[in-house]
Structures are given as C-alpha cells and as structure tokens.
Structure 1
C-alpha cells in the first residue's frame, strides 16, 4: 500500500529528530514553521461490501479529500433516506479527520458533520463514480470488478 513508505519516512524522521534532541539536550529552536492544513484535508474511504469483515479502507490524497468534500457539500439537500440493501455492495463511506462522514450509495449521500446528519441527492451519481474510480488502485482487481459491476448494475 502507499501508506507504508510514508509511515516509514515519518518514523525515520521522528527517530532522527529524537536522536538529535537527545545529543543536544533540546529540540531545534529555529526550525521553519510549517503551515497547518485544515482538518478536512485528510480523509479515509472504504467500500462496504463484506459481511462480518472489516471493509477495505484507503487514505485519500489531501487534494482529492478536499475536492470530494466540496462535491458532497455542493449536492442539493434531499428527503429520501439511503435504502437498506442487505448483503453485498452497500456503498462507500468517507470519514474526514474532523469527524465529518459521508455514506454514499447510488444517488443518496448521508452527510454527517457537526453532530447533524443531512441527506443529499446526487442524481448523476458523480460522488459514487468518483469513489469507485479512486478505489481501483486500492482494491484487489477481482474485488474492484465485483464492486464496479454492482455499482453499474443500477445505472439507468
């Protein structure tokens, strides 16, 4: 997965910083300030497809995470709820660092943010399609094919 090298670089960097601090007795005083990105810049996506097993989950790139959140927030508020679909493909879930969460199934998006849940309508299913395409690099090819066929099965 793509996360392993990033985690290893982070661990190595922290280890080197810790070793440096131990030898000098302090942390570096005049390090450049790094501008913090908003909490919503990171997210994890998953596809709900298995029963009794954890869903496949992957990290979204910060740009994709922000774009996806903007797409969800731009959807019109709806009145229908997400259908109970039983076994098999049950949609995608995106969870942002700040606790916001979108559950996407077909043309219905349940969007929870700040303790409030809204239903959003995505008549073109653009959010679901975006998540499906983004999942290709993170899912086993056979699993991706199975999910894609179920997503496309309900296309008009």
Structure 2
C-alpha cells in the first residue's frame, strides 16, 4: 500500500473513532463518565489510611447509600469531635450525590449537610463496622486486614 493511501485509512479510522466517542459520550465503559452517572443514585466511600497518597475509594450502590444515610440519620447527637489521630487509619468518609458527607472514626460520626456540621454518637460503632465490611471487595486483601485490625484494635 502506498504511503498516501495508508494516511487516508489512518485518518478515516481516527475519524470513525472520534465519531464513536462523540456518540457514546467519549468515556470508556469503566471510565469517569460511568462513575459520575453512578453518583446520581449512589455514594462514594473511602478509607483514610495512607499519608501523602489518595485514599482507596469505591462506589456504594443506591441501596447501600440509602441504608447508610438512614443509619447515620438515626444516630443520636454527640458532643465529642473527631480526634486528631496522626498517622495510620483515620476513618472512613462517605460522600453522597447531594453533597452530604459523613466522616466516621470509631464511635464519632461528623455529618455535614447543606453547610451545617453535626456530631453524632455511634457507641455500637455500627456505621464504622458497616463501612469496614463493605470495603472488603474493594480493598487489596492485605490492606483490608490492616484496616480491620485498626478498626478492631479499639473495640471495647
């Protein structure tokens, strides 16, 4: 094939690829486009365990997000703030599609919604335990073991 014909075929292929990207929204099936659409009906969770690195993050299904929000809403008001724990495990964070956010560490939950922060008390640590169990399929097995040991280290 002559060099000029090859260039035509490459240009045509790139044109088709561009047309496909425009028609499909330009994002691959597992790319950010799908994740952003999922946020409309779910929530994003993360575990704060690394220093200087992004925390491991995963999506919660709509049902998981709803049940977790109900669990946080049902907690009684608290007065103790989240402790400053330094390095290592520092809790879980959940951000819902409406912008509400819960930071969960041990028996304290800081819930922020509509710019208003509320402290909640979770003496049974049920929210933290729910997040820990839900993180298992999303974390490397060794990391899950480390996080689980840190969560359970302060169990009464």
**TM-score normalised by the chain length of structure 2:** 0.75
Select 1:18's aligned residue among 23, 26, 39: 23
Map residues 33-52 of structure 1 onto 2, 5 A cutoff: 41-52=41-52
For 2:99 and 2:117, the matched residues in 1 are separated by 12
Map residues 138-153 of structure 1 onto 2, 5 A cutoff: 138-153=138-153
- Runs of 4+ aligned structure 1 residues displaced above 3 Å come to 15-19
Corresponding residue for residue 85 of structure 1: 85
Map residues 38-117 of structure 1 onto 2, 5 A cutoff: 41-117=41-117
CA RMSD of aligned residues (A): 1.8
**TM-score normalised by the chain length of structure 1:** 0.75
Structure 1, unmatched stretches of 5+, are: 1-14, 20-38
Map residues 127-146 of structure 1 onto 2, 5 A cutoff: 127-146=127-146
Structure 2, unmatched stretches of 5+, are: 1-19, 25-39
Q: CA deviation at 1:99?
A: 0.4
For 2:134 and 2:98, the matched residues in 1 are separated by 21
Question: How has the CA–CA distance of structure 1 residues 17 and 124 changed in structure 2, closer, same or farther, with 3 Å as cutoff?
Answer: same
Paired positions, count: 123
Give the greater-gyration-radius structure (CA).
Answer: 2
SS at match of 1:136: helix
SS at match of 2:137: coil
